[in-house]
Amino acid sequence: MRYRFSKPVFQEIVNLIRPALESNTYREIPVSPEDQVLIATRFYATGSFQKLIGDYINVSTATVCRIIERVSEQLAGLRRDVIDMPKDETQFPGVMYVSSHREVKSENYIETERAISQ
């Protein structure tokens, strides 16, 4: 299965982090913010080697590495503004969650499981 962003969603993501991705250097041909987001999201989605991604988009492995770091930092900085996590388990009844690096079943899930088994 492939996951894709619609064009408007992709453009919104780019616009949210564009100021941090625009290059003001004249040392080399800059990589556009759109291409930087494409590089990073391709890496996230495929877990592919950075060299392969660089070859595909025609940039060096070092550039791919810097882009992934830059885009990741910018997206992580937006987490409080764009990710709405549940405040308590009543918003996600019966959903497993991770606590202290181990899976834990919520109380609602355990109660539901008991009711079904009786």
Per-residue pLDDT, averaged over 4-10, amounts to 87
State yes or no: pLDDT of 110 exceeds 90.
no
Let me know whether 51 and 68 are in one domain: yes
Q: What is the pLDDT of residue 101?
A: 47
Let me know whether 36 and 68 are in one domain: yes
* 47-104 residue pLDDT tens: 888 898 888 888 999 999 999 999 999 999 998 887 777 676 666 665 555 454 444 4
Let me know whether 46 and 74 are in one domain: yes
Per-residue pLDDT, averaged over 40-49, amounts to 88
Q: What is the pLDDT of residue 4?
A: 78
Let me know whether 28 and 12 are in one domain: yes
Let me know whether 42 and 71 are in one domain: yes
Q: Does 91 map to a domain?
A: yes
Let me know whether 28 and 77 are in one domain: yes
Let me know whether 78 and 105 are in one domain: no
Q: What is the pLDDT of residue 48?
A: 83
Let me know whether 48 and 15 are in one domain: yes
Q: State the Cα–Cα distance between residues 67 and 72, nearest whole angstrom.
A: 8
- Segments forming the whole domain that contains residue 67: 7-82
Closest by Cα among 3, 5, 11, 21 to 77: 21
State yes or no: pLDDT of 17 exceeds 60.
yes
**C-alpha dist (Å) from residue 28 to 14, 24, 59:** 21, 10, 11
Let me know whether 27 and 56 are in one domain: yes
Domains: count for the chain = 2
| From 25-34, 64-73, 100-109, the region with the lowest mean pLDDT | 100-109
pTM of this prediction exceeds 0.85 = no
Q: What is the mean pLDDT of the chain?
A: 78
